[in-house]
C-alpha cells in the first residue's frame, strides 16, 4: 500500500517539486491548490505518467471549511493519511514598516500561520496513535527569513515564519509521544515565481551575492530535504529546522 501524502500549495514551486518527487517514490499524493487548477492537474498528470497515483484537490487552506474539505476528500479518495507537507504560504509586496497596512498583516498571518496550523491539526487527528492512528510525519515550509529577519520590506513575512519555527518546535513536543514527527525546512533564495509576489522581479539576482555557495537553489533541492524528513531515514529527527540556503 502506498503511503498517503498531502502537499498544500502543490501546484507550483517547492510544493510541485515535492509532490512530483513523492509520487516517484511511491506516495499517493494529494496535490492541493487554491485557484490554479491547470498547474495542479499538470503535476498530477506528471506523477501518473511515471506510474504513480495522485489527485488534485481545490481548497483554501486558510479557512476551516477549506481544510475540512481537503482532508475529507483525501480520506475518501486516497485513504489513511501518513504524511503532510504544509507548504502553502503567502508573501506581500515590499513595504517598510511605516507603510504596512493591517490587510497585509492579516493576509500574511492567515497564509503562513493559520493555514499550516489548521492543516497540522487535521493531520494530527488522523495520524495520532492517541486518536487511533498509526503515526506519521509533518513537514512545514518555513524560511531562512525567520532567522535573518527579513528586514527592508519583508518584516511581516519574516515574523510569520518565526512563528512557524516556534509552532514546529512546540508541535513536535506535543505530538512526539503520539507517533508523529514534526520538522520544518527553511529555504533560502530558491528559483521559484513565489518571489514575484514582492513586486521585485529581480530580487534573486540582487541578493545572490550574499550566498556563500554563490548561487540560488532549486525547488528540487528543497524537495529532497522534505522527502528525507518525511521518510523513515529520519526516524529520530523531530523538532528541527533544516536550512536549504547555500550557507546564507
Angle (deg, nearest 10), helices 115-127 and 155-175 = 10
Give the contacts of 190 (CB within 8 A, at least 6 positions apart). 13, 14, 216, 217, 218, 219, 221, 222, 244
With contact defined as beta carbons under 8 Å apart, do 14 and 93 qualify? no
Secondary structure percentages of the chain, helix, strand, coil, to 5: 50, 15, 30
Sheet of 28-33, strands arranged across: 53-58, 28-33, 4-7, 83-86, 136-141, 180-187, 241-244
Helix (H) or strand (E) holding 184: strand 180-187
Catalytic residue among 27, 131, 157, 236: 157
DSSP state letter for 137: E
Please state, in angstroms and rounded to a whole number, the distance separating the CA atoms of residues 208 and 180: 36
C-alpha torsion sign, points 225, 105, 121, 20: negative
With contact defined as beta carbons under 8 Å apart, do 163 and 117 qualify? no
Which grid coordinates belong to 98? Answer: 511605516
27 is catalytic: no
Which grid coordinates belong to 226? Answer: 522534505
Please state, in angstroms and rounded to a whole number, the distance separating the CA atoms of residues 204 and 196: 10
Task: Please identify every residue annotated as catalytic.
Answer: 157
Amino acid at each position: 500500500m502506498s503511503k498517503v501524502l498531502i502537499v498544500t500549495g502543490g501546484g507550483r514551486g517547492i510544493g510541485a517539486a515535492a509532490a512530483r518527487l513523492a509520487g516517484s517514490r511511491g506516495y499517493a499524493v494529494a496535490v492541493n491548490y487554491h485557484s490554479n487548477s491547470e498547474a495542479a492537474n499538470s503535476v498530477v498528470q506528471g506523477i501518473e505518467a511515471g506510474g504513480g497515483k495522485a489527485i488534485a484537490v481545490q481548497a483554501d487552506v486558510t479557512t476551516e471549511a477549506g481544510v475540512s474539505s481537503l482532508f475529507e476528500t483525501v480520506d475518501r479518495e486516497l485513504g489513511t493519511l501518513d504524511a503532510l507537507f504544509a507548504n502553502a504560504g503567502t508573501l506581500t509586496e515590499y513595504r517598510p514598516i511605516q507603510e504596512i497596512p493591517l490587510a497585509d498583516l492579516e493576509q500574511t498571518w492567515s497564509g503562513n500561520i493559520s493555514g499550516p496550523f489548521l492543516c497540522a491539526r487535521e493531520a494530527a487527528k488522523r495520524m495520532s496513535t492517541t486518536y487511533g492512528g498509526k503515526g506519521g510525519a509533518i513537514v512545514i515550509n518555513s524560511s531562512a527569513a525567520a532567522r535573518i529577519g527579513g528586514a527592508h520590506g519583508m518584516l511581516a513575512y519574516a515574523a510569520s515564519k518565526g512563528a512557524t519555527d516556534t509552532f514546529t518546535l512546540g508541535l513536535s513536543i506535543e505530538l512526539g509521544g503520539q507517533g508523529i514527527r514534526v520538522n520544518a525546512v527553511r529555504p533560502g533564495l530558491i528559483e521559484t515565481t513565489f518571489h514575484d509576489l514582492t513586486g521585485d522581479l529581480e530580487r534573486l539576482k540582487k541578493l545572490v551575492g550574499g550566498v556563500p555557495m554563490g548561487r540560488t537553489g532549486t525547488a528540487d533541492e528543497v524537495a529532497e530535504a522534505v522527502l528525507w524528513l518525511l521518510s523513515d531515514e529520519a526516524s529520530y529527527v523531530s523538532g528541527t529546522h533544516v536550512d536549504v540556503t547555500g550557507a546564507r
